[in-house]
Amino acid sequence: MPTPHTVTVALTGASGLPYGLALIRALVAARVRVWVLASQAAQVVAREETDFALPAAPDALTRFLTEMSGAEESQLRAFGREAWHAPVASGSNPADAMVVCPCSMGTLAAIAQGMSDNLIERAADVAIKEQKKLVLVPRETPLSAIHLENMLKLARLGVVILPPAPGFYTRPQSVDDMVDFVVARILDQIGVPNTLVPRWGETR
């Protein structure tokens, strides 16, 4: 699988925002162009799970994430929730892949039903109809039958459901190690080479 040139990363209001931020940093390091979408609930989660607040304005969020990730000029861009002229809103200019990380059960349900009430849902709808790689990283436990049925519906369409469940055969020594394990699995799914964690069978 060729390395994608552009990846959309959507941050929603589920626990696990550090996964999404680490994913953005890894994509930037791999010299991938990154388009970022963030829900209002993601801003609430950021205040609970990190030491900073995600800016609400797209330009401010672009500057914040560019500085955080070390992105080059124009390598990263954030879009507003109703920026219907954004590239991700149309099948004529979709990203090569999209990752919703973390993915709330509300967002997952909306995607499963083909909703397009905001740019995150619309971008996911475009990814499915254009048969682009779509990875959802849900953070919810326990899972109800509703959650599981929505996941199964999407999996049957080719969407990758990737719960952030770190493996322990890598002998993680920190939370960052566990985050990197999940990010590495995401990068594998979208074809971005990485050496974040040792592979099974490799010498540690």
**Residue 39, annotated ligand binder?**
yes
Q: Is residue 127 a contact partner of residue 165, using CB atoms and an 8 Å limit?
A: no
Distance CA 58, CA 143 (A): 33
**Residue 57, annotated ligand binder?**
no
**Residue 199, annotated ligand binder?**
no
The helix/strand/coil state of 63 is helix
**Residue 139, annotated ligand binder?**
yes
Distance CA 104, CA 118 (A): 14
**Residue 104, annotated ligand binder?**
yes
**Residue 174, annotated ligand binder?**
no
**Residue 14, annotated ligand binder?**
yes
**Residue 116, annotated ligand binder?**
no
* Residues paired with residue 7 on neighbouring β-strands, in sequence order: 34, 97
**Residue 156, annotated ligand binder?**
no
Candidates 76, 145, 56, 75; CA nearest to 105 is 145
**Residue 107, annotated ligand binder?**
yes
Q: For 106-116, give one letter per residue: b (16+ CB within 10 A) or e.
A: bbbbbbbeeeb
**Residue 106, annotated ligand binder?**
yes
Please report, in range form, the residues annotated as the binding site for FMN: 13-15, 39, 104-107, 139
Please report, in range form, the residues annotated as the binding site for dimethylallyl phosphate: 169, 185
Please report, in range form, the residues annotated as the binding site: 13-15, 39, 104-107, 139, 169, 185
